[in-house]
């Protein structure tokens, strides 16, 4: 049986996530075959990628891109992911597997490709609308007099 790991909210701290995955492998004395990320992985490999972070600007950290690149170069697990709001969306929308060193499979909705035989994984992102990234509910929007939610 293959060993899978599900992670989320890595927020570009790939080296820390890798440490956790390595610990799991040590404790179970077997390798992880597949990693699923449930959002907010944060593969901002280039400083310019941070310009496409959909969250508040205060969370942009382009100075961390060299560390992210190093950690991704050393990353040894295949990853299948759905997006959170902490992703370089321009890279995901204009998909180029080579940019991610062929280690990443991505789907914003629908079936996720992965290496686990006989397992079907489908997912939906928490991203509802590209212009509504503050995640305000319709009731909160009316209460704060922010106007109608686009559909």
CA distances from 91 to 38, 49, 133 (A): 17, 8, 18
Which residue do the tokens 């990693």 mark?
A: 35
Percent of the chain at pLDDT above 90? 51
Better-scored residue on pLDDT, 137 or 14: 14
Q: Comparing 21-30, 93-102, 133-142, which segment has the lowest mean pLDDT?
A: 133-142
Say whether pLDDT at 133 is over 60: no
The pLDDT assigned to 22 comes to 96
CATH number 3.30.1380 given to 4-143: no
**For range 73-96, the mean pLDDT:** 89
What phi and psi, each to the nearest 5 degrees, are found at residue 79? -120, 130
CA distances from 88 to 34, 104, 116, 143, 148 (A): 22, 13, 26, 32, 27
The pLDDT assigned to 131 comes to 52
d(CA 48, CA 65): 9
The three-point CA angle 59-98-45 to 5° equals: 20
**For range 14-39, the mean pLDDT:** 94
User: How many Cβ atoms from other residues are within 10 Å of residue 8's Cβ?
Assistant: 15
d(CA 85, CA 109): 14
pLDDT-derived band of residue 94, with 50, 70 and 90 as boundaries?
A: confident
The pLDDT assigned to 25 comes to 95
**For range 90-113, the mean pLDDT:** 82
């Amino acid at each position: 049986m293959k060993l899978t790991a599900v992670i989320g909210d890595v927020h570009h701290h790939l080296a820390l996530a890798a440490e956790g995955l390595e610990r799991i492998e040590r404790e179970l004395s077997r390798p992880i075959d597949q990693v699923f990320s449930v959002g907010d992985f944060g593969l901002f490999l280039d400083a310019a990628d941070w310009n496409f972070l959909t969250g508040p600007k205060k969370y942009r950290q382009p100075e961390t891109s060299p560390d992210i690149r190093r950690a991704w170069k050393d990353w040894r697990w295949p990853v299948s992911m759905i997006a959170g709001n902490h992703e370089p969306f321009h890279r995901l929308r204009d998909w180029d597997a080579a940019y991610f060193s062929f280690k990443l499979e991505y789907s914003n909705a629908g079936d996720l490709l992965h290496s686990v035989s006989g397992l079907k994984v489908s997912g939906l992102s928490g991203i509802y609308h590209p212009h509504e990234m503050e995640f305000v509910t319709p009731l909160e929007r009316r209460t704060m007099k922010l106007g109608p939610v686009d559909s």
